[in-house]
Amino acid sequence: MEITEPIESKNFLQEIIENDIAEGKHDGRVLTRFPPEPNGYLHIGHAKSICINFGLAKQYNGQTNLRFDDTNPVTEDTEYVESIKEDIKWLGFDWANEYYASDYFDTLYDYATQLIGKGLAYVDDLTAEQIAELKGTPTEPGKNSPHRDRSVEENLDLFRRMKDGEFPEGSKVLRAKIDMASPNMHMRDPLLYRIKYAHHHRTGDKWCIYPMYDFAHGQSDSIETITHSICTLEFIPHRPLYDWCIEKLEIFPSRQYEFARLNMNYTVMSKRKLLQLVNENHVSGWDDPRMPTLSGMRRRGYPPKSIVEFCDKIGVAKRENIIDIGLLEFCVREDLNKTATRVMVVMDPVKLVITNYEGTGEHLSAENNPEDQSAGHRNISFGKVIYIEREDFMLDPPKGYFRLSPGNKVRLKYAYIIEYENHITDSEGRITEIHVKYYPDSKSGEDTSSIKVKTALHWVPESAINAEIRLYDRLFVVENPNSDKDTDFKEFINKDSMVVNTRAMLEPILKDADFGKSYQFFRLGYFCLDKDSSSEKLVFNKTVGLKDSWAKILQK
């Protein structure tokens, strides 16, 4: 008899790693790294890279290093280092070692002198413009620099003096001596070092020359004996240089593999653009709940598990595509549905008086989460006066309106069935009070009234509390804010991406709301307490609606 095993589809990185393990490469060891540049906060694209690097290592009993790619002192800062570490931990991953490319500056300097010694690198005095001019184009070969044939001794001397601060910024660079006619522009004597009199967040003023990305990255991988250096597709043309450096320096043979970066609609993800949004006050900061940053998503109430689940769902591909932001929201909703505590909040309250309700009121028991029995119950006070949503009552409703209207009975969630009697308006004709009668024998859970209703309305008791509620929408009004080269992406910012509601009335239990906890406001969506909350004022963020309102709009 044949035994059929379930076929598990593997992504191309898993296949590569499994092959390497099968061949006994590096004794079957798997060591990946996540190499952020500490020049901004992590965004959802980085989450994909984190999930891939940490996920693969975990799957194959390996480890992952966290390496800060801090070779550009001008844009980097310790604030970013701290935020990056916090975000990775929040996603649920642990690194084996915390390293900094700047820790390797001495070794990298030594590697550079080795290349010079082998006649494979030279100091060039050309300006950046002159270097660009001689570089050629993808279809035309470049031309050699007049300084290309300096002697090893002269190069060693000049490079040491570059390091010692004898030359002004921009006056000299160190270049690899490869091939000015290479079809790959990155191989046309790429820059290895530049002079920069800048204070570095870790090495201070020790260095005035800094390695270029291409000279630091691969060598750092090699120093750490990274087995699989996984990066995004735009680094494919850098790979020959990555391999060249490793080969010429005869150092540990790390290998680079590329996958398609995450692109998402209605979003920008370049740190440069996100920094502009922050600096020009289009958002309140890197952790503004509308930002695609992990800190923004955390503040917005996205559970880390839902982000990991999203990264898992989109998979690993070799070709770029654009992911619908609705998929991320779907993952968030799925997770919150299981975990969020249910409560009632009325966004636009109108007073409701139950004319036949006698006595001082009662306490009703409400289930905290029908998806989770262990979440237990809470009490809500109920009485003659409560508040309901203004839009849940219509005097003259269209067909198919099943909420409260003359002749149309509804249930008050966790409570009784009610029926309209009359109402009071102010001088402008606006309804200020709705009067109803209730059916005492229709109490939820012990209903003997046999009245059928189609809708259960949410409501809050007279003792409801106030809060500021921030409602968010897409930050951009077009699917691809990056598409038009002639238009500044900021022109596409959604002016209504945040709407603040200060009228809302909330179930009193929410005055003890916890940070980091999610609440489902019955019929409205998922919400969480914002860090702007104080003992005087509660602030809630809307995390996501209950249903995908965008899918509906797009279908129209």
Applying CB under 5 A, which residues contact Mg ion? Answer: 37
**How far apart (Å, rounded) are the C-alpha atoms in residues 198 and 74?**
6
Q: Provide the minimum distance between the beta carbon of 521 and Mg ion in the complex, in angstroms, as a whole number.
A: 40
Helix 213-223 with 239-249: angle, nearest 10 deg: 60
| Given the residues 37, 309, 334, 462, the one annotated as active site | 37
Of 84, 99, 189, which is closest to residue 143 (Cα–Cα)?
Answer: 189
Catalytic (active site) residue 290: no
User: What's the gap between Cα 454 and its chain centre?
Assistant: 40
The interface partner of residue 48, options being Mg ion, ligand ATP, none and the CB cut-off 5 to 8 Å by kind, is: ligand ATP
Q: Which position among 25, 261, 403, 523 bears the catalytic label?
A: 261
Minimal CB distance to ligand ATP: which residue?
45
CB 260 to ligand ATP: min, Å: 8
For residue 368, give the nearest of 206, 274, 509 by alpha carbon: 509
Structure tokens at 515: 């940070």
With CB under 5 to 8 Å by kind, the binding choice for 425 among ligand ATP, Mg ion, none is none
261 is catalytic: yes
* 201 neighbors 228 (Cβ within 8 angstroms): no
Q: Which residue has the closest beta carbon to Mg ion?
A: 37
- Which of Mg ion, ligand ATP, none sits in contact with 262, Cβ below 5 to 8 A by type? ligand ATP
Strand partners, 422: 435
Q: Give min distance, CB of 69 to Mg ion, in A.
A: 7
Q: How far is the CB of 266 from ligand ATP (least distance, A)?
A: 15
Q: How far is the CB of 262 from ligand ATP (least distance, A)?
A: 4
Residue with tokens 């590697």: 111
- Minimum Å gap between C-beta 454 and ligand ATP is 46
**What is d(CA 21, CA 60) in angstroms, rounded to the nearest whole number?**
9
Please say which residue, 53 or 518, places its beta carbon nearer to ligand ATP: 53
Residue 45 interacting entry, from ligand ATP, Mg ion, none, C-beta within 5 to 8 Å by type: ligand ATP
Footprint of ligand ATP (CB under 6 A): 35-37, 45-46, 48-49, 69, 231-232, 261-262, 269-271
Residue closer to ligand ATP, measured from CB, 255 or 271: 271
Instruction: Please say which residue, 84 or 176, places its beta carbon nearer to ligand ATP.
Output: 84
Q: Which is nearer to ligand ATP, 39 or 494 (CB)?
A: 39
DSSP string covering 336-357, please?
HHHHPEEE-EESSEEEEEETT-
Tell me the closest approach of the beta carbon of residue 79 to Mg ion, in angstroms. Answer: 18
Identify which of residues 120 and 307 has a Cβ nearer to ligand ATP in the complex: 307
Q: How many CB atoms lie within 10 A of CB 145?
A: 21
CB 472, min distance to ligand ATP, A: 22
Residue ranges of the alpha helices (H) in 149-280?
152-163, 213-223, 239-249, 271-279
Distance CA(299)–CA(90), nearest Å, equals: 12
Of residues 124 and 214, the one with the C-beta less far from Mg ion: 214
Which is nearer to ligand ATP, 71 or 155 (by Cβ)? 71
In angstroms, what CA-CA distances link 421 with 310, 318, 359, 404, 416?
A: 49, 65, 20, 11, 16
Catalytic annotation, pick one of 33, 163, 271, 409: 271
- 175: partner contacted, choices ligand ATP, Mg ion, none (Cβ within 5-8 A by kind): none
User: Which of ligand ATP, Mg ion, none sits in contact with 178, Cβ below 5 to 8 A by type?
Assistant: none
Catalytic site residue 271? yes
The binder of 228, among ligand ATP, Mg ion, none, by C-beta within 5 to 8 A per type, is none
Provide the residue type at 549 as one letter.
S
For Mg ion, give the closer residue by CB, 272 or 503: 272
CA 192 to chain centre: 33
Rounded least distance, CB 109 to ligand ATP, Å? 22
Q: What's the CA gap between 59 and 66, in Å, rounded?
A: 17
The residues facing 386 across adjacent strands are 352, 461
- Residue 479 in contact with residue 324, Cβ under 8 Å? no
The closest alpha carbon to 414, from 368, 445, 370, belongs to 445
Residue 261 interacting partner from ligand ATP, Mg ion, none (CB closer than 5 to 8 Å by kind): ligand ATP
Give the dihedral of Cα atoms 536, 542, 543, 549; nearest 10 deg. 180
* Of 269 and 385, CB closest to ligand ATP: 269
CB of 519 to ligand ATP, least distance (A): 31
User: CA of 120: how far to CAs of 44, 135, 149, 178, 339, in Å?
Assistant: 40, 18, 10, 7, 60
Q: Which of the choices ligand ATP, Mg ion, none does residue 270 contact, using the CB cut-off of 5 to 8 A by kind? A: ligand ATP
* Contact predicate 108/222, CB 8 Å: no
Exposure letters 351-386 (e unless 16+ CB within 10 A, then b): bbbbeebeeeeeebebebbeeeeeeeebebbbebeb
Going by C-alpha positions, the residue among 243, 238, 189 that lies closest to residue 214 is: 238
Residue 311 or 436 having the CB closest to ligand ATP: 311
Tell me the one-letter amino acid at 479. Answer: E
Question: Closest by alpha carbon to 349, among 545, 524, 512?
Answer: 524
Look up residue 414 and give its two tokens. 């966790």
Beta bridge partners of 377: 367
Catalytic residues: 37, 261, 271
